[in-house]
Amino acid sequence: MATEPQGHRAGDPDARPGSDRAGRPGSGGVPLHAMTRRLLAPVGLRWMTGTVAVVACALVLGTVVAPPDAIQGHAQRLMYVHVPVAWSAYLCFTVVLIASLAFLRRRGPLSAAVGQAAGEVGVVLTALTLFSGSLWGALTWGTWWVWDARVTATVAMGLVYLIYLSARGIATGARGQMLTALIGVVGFAIVPVVHFSVVWWRTLHQPATILSPDLTLPIEGRMALALAVSFLAMTLVTLTLLRLRVHALLPAARGQLDASTTAVHTTPGAGAGS
């Protein structure tokens, strides 16, 4: 009697690991398209496709359509990376502020996960801001690093949110989590200092191109278009990273809050006098 090869029958205990029912290489029998859907579940395929399309448009506008700067030449094209990345770091730390205020008002796992995710992405974006700024400075100023007000304030901003993330990592119990949220609120004060440092102090950096106090936009039209699309692209990338990270952090945040709540309810003497 003919027998079916091992590993081809559904439920066969001797099936080869990492192969599907037809014996093709896979990941535990999960088809590739199913793995892709699972990976993109927090954001959705349409969102990811739209984000990739906007990023591609930003690259074309920044490298081909926008003209080189009259003084800096092609080095100025780093603006289409440096400025949107810095803006996205501001956005992340604004999200930390909002999530921390929400956690102080009503302790919930979602606000805890959002705050941590925004802090992590914001620190990475701050590092990218410093790196891209250093590269731009080397090409235009002839030096990689100058401790002027903007650079110093940006480093301080990164350190503030590293402290915030460290506090989140070591915080135990309700009191520790509330203290971490308080750091997230107070720490936001460094963000406007970074942005307006070029106005308040004499620095090598030029005044703000975007969100300047006089609300002017001293930039050529095609450059403005490339910068605007780059802002949109970096914002979409940042929101994508935040959604993916929140999705990953939420179960642990729920468990941590449940554990702290249980610890409060089981503290000796908590029910004394009742």
The predicted structure's pLDDT at residue 29: 53
Residue bearing tokens 């803006």? 87
Q: What is the 3-state secondary structure (H, E, C) of 77-115?
A: HHHHHHHHHHHHHHHHHHHHHHHHHHHHHCCCHHHHHHH
The predicted structure's pLDDT at residue 256: 72
To the nearest 10°, report the CA torsion of 226, 230, 236, 237: 140
In a domain, 42, yes or no: no
Distance, CA of 52 to CA of 67 (rounded, Å): 23
Tens-of-pLDDT digits for all 274 residues of the chain? 454 444 444 444 444 444 444 444 444 555 655 655 565 567 788 889 999 999 999 999 999 999 988 888 898 899 999 999 999 999 999 999 999 999 999 888 899 999 999 999 999 999 999 999 999 988 988 888 888 889 999 999 999 999 999 998 887 777 888 999 999 999 999 999 998 888 887 777 766 665 555 555 667 889 999 999 999 999 999 999 999 999 999 888 887 766 655 554 454 544 444 3
Packing angle, helices 79-105 and 221-265, rounded to 10: 30
CB 263 within 8 A of CB 130: no
The predicted structure's pLDDT at residue 255: 77
In a domain, 258, yes or no: yes
The predicted structure's pLDDT at residue 17: 46
In a domain, 86, yes or no: yes
In a domain, 36, yes or no: no
Distance, CA of 250 to CA of 133 (rounded, Å): 34
Residue 25 CB: number of other CB atoms within 10 A? 9
Residue bearing tokens 């089981």? 266
Q: Estimate to the nearest angstrom the gap between the alpha carbon of 213 and the chain centroid.
A: 27
**In sequence order, which residues have a C-beta less than 8 Å from that of residue 90 and are 6 or more positions away?**
191, 194, 195
CB 158 within 8 A of CB 88: no
The predicted structure's pLDDT at residue 201: 79
In a domain, 44, yes or no: no
**Rg (alpha carbons) of the chain, rounded to whole number:** 25
The predicted structure's pLDDT at residue 41: 67
Reading the block at residue 18, the tokens are: 């990492």
What are the angstrom distances between the C-alpha of 203 and each of 13, 134, 147, 153, 217?
Answer: 69, 15, 9, 12, 20
**What does residue 47 show for φ and ψ, rounded to 5 degrees?**
-60, -45
**In sequence order, which residues have a C-beta less than 8 Å from that of residue 8 and are 6 or more positions away?**
15, 21, 22, 23
In a domain, 203, yes or no: yes
Q: How many domains does the chain have?
A: 1
In a domain, 157, yes or no: yes
CB 80 within 8 A of CB 66: yes
The predicted structure's pLDDT at residue 213: 55
Measured in Å, how far apart are the chain's first and last C-alpha atoms? 76
CB 138 within 8 A of CB 177: no
Look up the domain containing 208 and give its range: 82-263
The predicted structure's pLDDT at residue 204: 72
In a domain, 40, yes or no: no
CB 241 within 8 A of CB 95: no
The predicted structure's pLDDT at residue 207: 66
